[in-house]
Structure 1
Amino acid sequence: MSSASWPPVRVGTAMVVCAASLLVTCGPAVADGPHGIDDARSVGSGPATGSRLHQPGVQFLPRSGVPGPPDVTALSWAVTDARSGRILAAKDAHRRLPPASTLKTLFALTVLPKFPQRAAHTVTDADLAGILPGSALVGIKEDVRYSVADLWRGVFLSSGSDAVRTLATMNGGWDKTVADMGAMARRLGANDTTVRSADGFDSEGQFSSAFDLSVFGRAGLANPDFARLASTKTAKFPEAGGERAFGIQNTNRLLVGSHGVVPYPGLIGVKNGYTTNAGNTLVAAAERDGRTLLVTVMNPQTGSENAVYEETRALLDWGFAAAPRAAGVGTLPETAPVEPQLDTDGAVRDSQHAALLNEKAEHADAAPGMALAGERDTQRRTLYVWALSVAGASALAGVGLWWRRRKQRNAPPAPPI
């Protein structure tokens, strides 16, 4: 008699098969998307950047039913599925170019977690020292008390170098903040970036890339405070009001709709920039039908002041159409969440860290972007572990039943009474 014919084994096998089916159903959904099956198989198992991204020119893998990316004039660009980090197409993604104010995304990743949004700071002359002529300003005044949230709105909405300078002083100074930003870039795997000025103002030797800026944008969207600030269209500055309060509006024309640019449906930020040397730069994210796409565009060559917005619009439109079936040409590196810095004694540097945690909890549901992606992934992992446990228990039960029956069959007959 073959072992497969033993009833206990058949029962155990059926249980294992059921558990395995459950594993397939509940395991990590690496390749599924809201529109159908997203094919991630073409992204190799090599370095996270993907070898194709280091090649010159447009990188895109043609596929039946997938349109090619639009012909845009930017020197460098990338279209990324923000949740998976899969880069759908790119042009010269690692080309090192001046980033202008899009580098403020890295500044925010570095400094934002260090101070509670409700904390307050009275600005001094020293805070504003060193601002270069031609820098964008939100209009911070000396001897006025601002909340940290006010200062960050000055960074994200008005791209204010005065707000950056003030926060950098709170962080320990300009040079320290520049060094911290460089360390953060390395931590995130953004190896094309060299920081010389925390606000992104043109500085000799300062560079980033479409790849690195996409890394910063994606990491930022995972932070509820960052995502909320990046998507804020208008605000009162300072928010508490008073005689000196005034309104500010986000300078990202694709978000608010201004200067002849129609707002993009579902746009959630992230950051725009311009300098004479860098030209126009933009990191933009948008949501549609449960999918978040991230587009980075650096220095369009048409000469139109709105080219960066219109080329970003074209790439977003293409990305949403192509994403369900497009084969990736590389992936962004996976990064751990950026947490508040700790002192050597293990205590959080800012004594009001509890307030920061409370605020993050308050904004978690309202923050756009990827703040809920971690929760969904945790649920998948929980189901996966549960199904694996069921499979193991089922297999052990089947073996136990088989062994018990075998001992019963092989046992000598009981003596007659």
Structure 2
Amino acid sequence: MSVRVFGSVMLAAALIGLGCAPAAAQPESPSTTPPFTTPNTDTCPFKQAPAPAIDLSEVPAPGDPIPGPLAVPTDVVGGDTLAGCGVLTPAGSPPVPADISATSWVVSDLDTGQVLAAKDPHGRYRPASTIKILLSIVALRELDLDKTVVGTTADSDVEGTRVGIGPGGRYTNSQLMHALVMASGNDAAHAIAAQLGGDAATVAKMNEVAASLGARDTRAATPSGLDGPGMSSSAYDLALLYREAMRIPTFAELVHTEQFDFPGFPPDPRIPDDKDHPGFPIANDNQLLYNYDGALGGKTGFTDDARHTFVAGAERDGRRLGVTLMAAEVLPVRPWQQGARLLDYGFALPRAASIGTLSATQTGDGAAKKKSDSWPTNGSAAATLAAPPADSIEDHATTGSSSDADAARLAVIFVGSLLVLVLVLIAAALSRKRR
């Protein structure tokens, strides 16, 4: 076989491999490839504001005001020890696991509010979809879960991860909340925000609730967690918000649901000869739920600026702990695995261990307008998956993606390369016969 023919075959195989890969697959950011080093936060580089934006997602539109950084509280929320920025652990405790790439993290007790260990707990970082926890608190307080709304074009056209709301589809708020929390649907966030007065009004309500709970590092800029000017939170604040949300029985049920049947929608009038879109199951994208004994559920997030964010909890021996990660990468292990290691670390500490507390500010039982201890499930909330879905660290970035999608692409290319090798050997054998 000539070099030219060989090159053509190799190029064709490469194109086949690329074409067969999932459409969503994109190369991971270079920052997720070796060598990896955890950023040093000992000098509190993110005390006042997140790192500068890396793309246009946080650039205000013409005429929009540029918000200044949030004021840093005079008194450290949660205790003076939490003013530290490096790794903070109780005296005499063992070192934390070495394979934690999160720039900031907190391990806390969901029942007592004690902070057990942390790194840069009050550093301001972008929350990505973990801010949907705050949106959930607002929505569950105000919305009637049985109310039905009609999907709009604006819902279906929203940027980032979408669960699959279609124009003309009919959805209860219960179904929208499942889509918001389980599948991190930005279209569900848009549909919920529309009922709360629109994006601007919803963001204002989210920030009001955050302030009332003592989450002083948090400024929502979008309901969904898409990056926006001034967006920030902290590992401490996310721990605080998660603890508050878990006091709402419906939220606790949502994050613990593995699979849910989501309704379809009628033909899209914008698409010629479009047909009915049937309903489909959605799966919880938090892999800790499937892989950690006693997992309670939580929320994942990703944007180009935020990197990977993660919030989750677990129960062991009558003790409920929460873990939050910010600005994490998929190396050396995935964020949910980092969360698992930190939960193990927290459960191994004595019950009295503490370096601070989550804000004592609470708001009753946090019950939603629709007061009920059981979440409407359409008969599927308790269903389990026959096989857990592939690890999919979502979420919003236009250029970012799950690393499992990369793995699928590499697998396809590898198989294509093997086929090329077989073709080369066959061609070589035929060439020898001709001679």
Q: 1:173 aligns with which of 188, 198, 201?
A: 198
The answer for the alignment partner of 1:254 in structure 2 is: 288
Within 5 Å, give how 1:182-221 maps onto structure 2.
182-221=207-246
Residues 365-408 of structure 1 show CA distances to partners (whole Å, capped at 9, x for unaligned) of xx99xxxxxxxxxxxxxxxxxxxxxxxxxxxxxxxxxxxxxxxx
Q: 2:349 aligns with which of 322, 347, 358?
A: 322
Q: 1:56 aligns with which of 85, 90, 113?
A: 85
Q: Does 1:331 align with 2:343?
A: no
CA distance in 2, matches of 1:325, 1:200: 35
Aligned 8 A contact 2:76 2:83 in 1: no
Give TM-score, length-normalised by structure 2.
0.63
Aligned 8 A contact 1:74 1:301 in 2: yes
Q: Does 1:109 align with 2:137?
A: yes
Aligned 8 A contact 2:88 2:118 in 1: yes
CA distance in 1, matches of 2:309, 2:348: 23
Residues 282-326 of structure 1 show CA distances to partners (whole Å, capped at 9, x for unaligned) of 00100111110000011225645x521121111000111114242
Q: Does 1:81 align with 2:104?
A: no
The answer for the alignment partner of 1:289 in structure 2 is: 317
Q: 2:126 aligns with which of 98, 108, 122?
A: 98
Q: Does 1:153 align with 2:182?
A: no
Aligned 8 A contact 1:236 1:246 in 2: yes
CA distance in 2, matches of 1:164, 1:173: 10
CA distance in 1, matches of 2:326, 2:345: 18
Q: 1:360 aligns with which of 365, 373, 376?
A: 373
Residues 252-293 of structure 1 show CA distances to partners (whole Å, capped at 9, x for unaligned) of 11213xxxxxx1111111101111111111001001111100
The residue type paired with residue 340 of structure 2 is R
Give TM-score, length-normalised by structure 1.
0.66
Within 5 Å, give how 1:125-164 maps onto structure 2.
125-128=153-156, 131-132=158-159, 135-164=160-189
Larger fraction in helix: 1
Q: Secondary structure at the match of 1:200?
A: coil
The count of aligned residue pairs is: 293
- The structural deviation recorded for 1:243 is 5.9
Cα distance change on mapping 1:340 and 1:60 into 2, 3 Å: closer
Cα distance change on mapping 1:159 and 1:166 into 2, 3 Å: same
Residues 126-154 of structure 1 show CA distances to partners (whole Å, capped at 9, x for unaligned) of 4556x22xx11000011111111110111
Aligned 8 A contact 1:128 1:166 in 2: no
Cα distance change on mapping 1:271 and 1:82 into 2, 3 Å: same
Q: Secondary structure at the match of 1:360?
A: coil
Within 5 Å, give how 1:225-304 maps onto structure 2.
225-238=250-263, 244-256=278-290, 263-301=291-329, 303=331
The residue type paired with residue 295 of structure 2 is L
CA distance in 1, matches of 2:237, 2:139: 18
Q: 1:310 aligns with which of 337, 345, 349?
A: 337
CA distance in 2, matches of 1:165, 1:338: 26
Q: Secondary structure at the match of 1:226?
A: helix
CA distance in 2, matches of 1:205, 1:218: 24
Q: Secondary structure at the match of 2:311?
A: strand
Cα distance change on mapping 1:339 and 1:56 into 2, 3 Å: closer
Q: Does 1:224 align with 2:242?
A: no
Q: Does 1:70 align with 2:83?
A: no
- Which entry has the higher C-alpha Rg, 1 or 2? 1
